Chain A
Amino acid sequence: MNILNLQFLLEIVFGTIIFLHITKKNFGAALSYGLQSLAITIVIFSSFFETGSMPLLFIAIITFIVKVIIAPVFFIKLIQKHELTFSVSTYLNMPLTLIIIAILTFVAHSQKFVPLTGIVPANQALLSLAIASIFLSIFLVINRKGALSQIIGILSLENSIVAFTIFASLEQSPMLQLGIIFNIFIWLVIASVFISMIYKHFGSLDITTMNNLKD
């Protein structure tokens, strides 16, 4: 796949993270994560077409099943079960959130990160975008008050790291990649169970309602 197409796919990943920051509806967030994962899956598929490696095809299929189908379905079922149409608000207001997004993106593209973005000089722009995605995903987890948004933020962080890995040519053996995906799947199941437990105990997914932990 040529560099422009790869850049377009990474821009989808980056764009979905921006969308996750600004969206007010959980349904849109779940679909956005599915779209983001689809972009990652296509990148892995493209690696398969270039190398012809069958294990890579297998990884792409598993990624597609876990991240593009199962995870969003999990989220949508949770949203429907607990009637969580609207996501919980953010700590910072929207203008301030957008300013911080801009600053983080700028920092990721600055000279400070050249040692990382220069791992594969031909992919410098892509690696900068992947690092920006990592920063924005961490900021998403910190800034969102909703438990569901935090889960999606962490999964988004994982997707961003995977994108960085691919463009920096740091792929692991297929067996270990499978291990990572399995791990993510188990994490997803456990996090979803916790979402239900939080809703049962607190009647909401707003983590600011959790204030039982005091010395």
Chain B
Amino acid sequence: MEIIFIITTLIITALLNILIKRRFVIEFFSIIASSVALFESIVVALKVSTAGVYSPFVFFSVDSLGAIVMLIVACVGFITTIYSVPYLRQETAKGIIGFTRVKQYFALLNIFLAAMFLAITANSLVFAWISIEATTLSTAFLISFYDKPSAIEAAWKYLIINSIGLLLGFFGTLLYFTSMSSLGENGFVSWQSLLANTIHLDPLIAKIAFIFVLIGYGTKVGLVPMHTWKPDAYSKAPNPIGALLSGALLPVAFIVILRFKIITDMVVGSQFSQNLLIIFGILSIAVAALIMFNARNYKRLLAYSSIENAGVMALGFGFGGLAIFAATMHLIYHSLVKGVMFFSSGNLLLKYNSDKINNIKGALGVVPFTSILFIAGFLVVTGIPPFGIFQTKMQILSAGIQLHPVTTIITLFFMTLVFIGFLKHIVSMFFSQKPENIPVGEGNIWLIIPPLTLLVIIIILSFYTPPFLYRLINDAVAHY
């Protein structure tokens, strides 16, 4: 019931946003809808943590990892909606967007959230695919939101690359159905029924299918070499949407890959999928590290950071064992910290009117709170102690050093390179001489509270994991 309530609320709000002509009402309804989604997601997560898989209807099913990702989407979605209100008001005040764009933004934001909730909770493989495809369609217009040639180009690239990727993912999905067709069970295929029939799946087909699925959904995750849309889309989309693309959409697509991984592992053993995840993981970390070093745009820098972290997660699930626990925690931390960084970079954009690293000088003196948030985000995301990502990276590397020492050392080298590259940009942006023509001061307290809230959650989770979340993570580790 909770799942239907979340999705219905978000879709109705999206429709109302198109009809309503008062800005305040649109903003109010959107915040209410996202808070309903957050509340109901917590309810679902509590149910899953105590009673296991939650499946109120045949069409919906939430397992432990699904509940974790649902919480992430709900939390990042709620805070993004709150941040979007002052952010878009400032953009309107500057004459960048008009009221029609605001309506369009909140309608698409709610559809995007609804599509992600559907993708996580869908019990059918094809329904999950349709939902992920729906996220592409809703976000394409959010990426082209500012209607500039570069934004249109980024959105087109996103649409084409993701559509091809998802069609390949769809092809892979259909190949898994061969285990069902041999039983004469065409029709509605759920994750559970597919798991129950893995014995009928040909190992060679399972391998080919997983490759297609990994390439297909890996495009959405942004794993190298399918990542090319990501820096463009992240840099052209409004900053709050960047937070959602990185913090919510990435784990949603990742969980679909992991669900197929379980099925494939049951047929061919875990070595095959783990090796593939390790290859894509190390490639993603290496390419992102090399490009981040010479990045010239801080939004693109965050996009490459997302690619690097997707690589870390892939590596964690690839290494297996203790690293799976760390990768799951990493998924949570990364989603939250990307919110902090995209929101604080949004504040920088509003203040400096530029997303070029070279144009941001002396930010610590100009917008001190925003700067502290961005720097804290940098420390978290690069894995500086005592923050949680330090622990997760260390756990992943220590799990990897036993079985894959060379890969682990290479990873450690590129992680260090990421830190150095990122630090170089941080020093240039925040600790340089403040320009005379930029007025000192933060724009609005509500541009600070959302990223600050996320940072506080990260700090708490770095030292304390609530029992229900701990149970969910442990259960996810046991299954994945």
Instruction: Spell out A's residues near B (CB within 8 Å).
Output: 115-116, 119, 134, 138, 141, 147, 150, 154, 157-158, 161, 164-165, 168-173, 175-176, 179-180, 183, 186-187, 190-191, 194, 197-198, 201-202, 207, 210-213, 215
Question: In the complex, which residues of chain B have a beta carbon less than 8 angstroms from the beta carbon of A179?
Answer: 126-127, 130
Q: Residues 181-193 of chain B: 1 if any A CB is under 8 Å from the residue's CB, otherwise 0?
A: 1000011110000
Question: In the complex, which residues of chain A have a beta carbon less than 8 angstroms from the beta carbon of B236?
Answer: 213
Contact B149 A134 (CB under 8 A): no
Contact B186 A176 (CB under 8 A): no
Question: In the complex, which residues of chain A have a beta carbon less than 8 angstroms from the beta carbon of B153?
Answer: 210-213
Question: In the complex, which residues of chain B have a beta carbon less than 8 angstroms from the beta carbon of A176?
Answer: 124, 126-127, 130, 188
Instruction: Spell out B's residues near A (CB within 8 Å).
Output: 124, 126-127, 130, 133-134, 137, 140-141, 144, 147-150, 152-157, 159-160, 163-164, 167, 170-171, 174-175, 177-178, 181, 186-189, 202, 204-205, 208, 231-232, 236, 294-297, 300
Contact A194 B159 (CB under 8 A): yes
The answer to whether A161 and B171 touch (CB under 8 A), given A194-B152, A212-B149, is: yes
Known: A115-B204, A141-B160. 10 other contacts (CB 8 A): A168-B174, A170-B175, A170-B186, A183-B130, A198-B152, A201-B152, A213-B154, A213-B157, A213-B236, A215-B231
Query: Whole-angstrom distance from the CB of B421 to the nearest CB of chain A?
Result: 13
13 A-B pairs with CB atoms under 8 Å apart are A116-B175, A134-B171, A170-B175, A170-B181, A176-B124, A176-B130, A183-B134, A187-B137, A187-B163, A190-B141, A194-B159, A215-B296, A215-B297
Question: In the complex, which residues of chain B have a beta carbon less than 8 angstroms from the beta carbon of A194?
Answer: 140, 144, 152, 155-156, 159
Contact A164 B171 (CB under 8 A): yes
The answer to whether A180 and B126 touch (CB under 8 A), given A161-B171, A191-B159, A215-B297, is: yes
Contact A165 B174 (CB under 8 A): yes
Query: Whole-angstrom distance from the CB of B166 to the nearest CB of chain A?
Result: 10
Query: Whole-angstrom distance from the CB of A215 to the nearest CB of chain B?
Result: 5
Closest to A141 in B: B164
Question: In the complex, which residues of chain A have a beta carbon less than 8 angstroms from the beta carbon of B152?
Answer: 194, 197-198, 201-202, 210
Closest to A202 in B: B149
Contact A180 B144 (CB under 8 A): no
Contact B155 A171 (CB under 8 A): no
Closest to B188 in A: A173
Query: Whole-angstrom distance from the CB of A150 to the nearest CB of chain B?
Result: 6
The answer to whether A210 and B149 touch (CB under 8 A), given A161-B171, A190-B137, is: yes
Closest to A158 in B: B167
Question: In the complex, which residues of chain A have a beta carbon less than 8 angstroms from the beta carbon of B159?
Answer: 190-191, 194
The answer to whether A215 and B156 touch (CB under 8 A), given A169-B181, A172-B187, is: no
CA distance A154 to B168 in the complex (A): 11
The 10 closest A-B pairs by CB, nearest first: A212-B150, A173-B187, A115-B204, A210-B153, A201-B149, A215-B296, A176-B126, A170-B177, A173-B188, A179-B130
CA distance A187 to B150 in the complex (A): 21
The answer to whether A154 and B205 touch (CB under 8 A), given A161-B171, A179-B126, A194-B155, is: no
Contact A119 B205 (CB under 8 A): yes
Query: Whole-angstrom distance from the CB of B297 to the nearest CB of chain A?
Result: 6
Contact A172 B126 (CB under 8 A): yes
Query: Whole-angstrom distance from the CB of B45 to the nearest CB of chain A?
Result: 27
CA distance A52 to B297 in the complex (A): 59
CA distance A17 to B186 in the complex (A): 29
Question: In the complex, which residues of chain B have a beta carbon less than 8 angstroms from the beta carbon of A164?
Answer: 171, 174
CA distance A215 to B296 in the complex (A): 6
Query: Whole-angstrom distance from the CB of A115 to the nearest CB of chain B?
Result: 4
Question: In the complex, which residues of chain A have a beta carbon less than 8 angstroms from the beta carbon of B160?
Answer: 141, 150, 154
Among the interface residues A141, A207, A215, which one has the most CB atoms of the partner chain B within 10 A? A215
Contact A116 B167 (CB under 8 A): no
CA distance A164 to B208 in the complex (A): 15
Question: In the complex, which residues of chain A have a beta carbon less than 8 angstroms from the beta carbon of B144?
Answer: 194, 197
Query: Whole-angstrom distance from the CB of B257 to the nearest CB of chain A?
Result: 19
The answer to whether A115 and B205 touch (CB under 8 A), given A172-B126, A212-B150, A213-B232, is: yes
CA distance A154 to B175 in the complex (A): 19
Query: Whole-angstrom distance from the CB of A166 to the nearest CB of chain B?
Result: 11
Contact of B205 among A116, A198, A202 (CB under 8 A): A116
Closest to B232 in A: A213
Contact of A115 among B124, B127, B154, B202 (CB under 8 A): B202
Contact of B130 among A173, A180, A207 (CB under 8 A): A180
Closest to B176 in A: A170
CA distance A79 to B424 in the complex (A): 50
Closest to B209 in A: A116
Closest to B202 in A: A115
CA distance A182 to B159 in the complex (A): 17
Question: In the complex, which residues of chain A have a beta carbon less than 8 angstroms from the beta carbon of B134?
Answer: 183, 186
Query: Whole-angstrom distance from the CB of A93 to the nearest CB of chain B?
Result: 23
CA distance A36 to B448 in the complex (A): 54
Question: In the complex, which residues of chain B have a beta carbon less than 8 angstroms from the beta carbon of A212?
Answer: 148-150, 153
Closest to B207 in A: A115
Query: Whole-angstrom distance from the CB of B115 to the nearest CB of chain A?
Result: 11
Query: Whole-angstrom distance from the CB of B65 to the nearest CB of chain A?
Result: 23
Contact A190 B140 (CB under 8 A): yes
Query: Whole-angstrom distance from the CB of B468 to the nearest CB of chain A?
Result: 33
Query: Whole-angstrom distance from the CB of A184 to the nearest CB of chain B?
Result: 9
Among the interface residues A172, A173, A190, A194, which one has the most CB atoms of the partner chain B within 10 A? A172
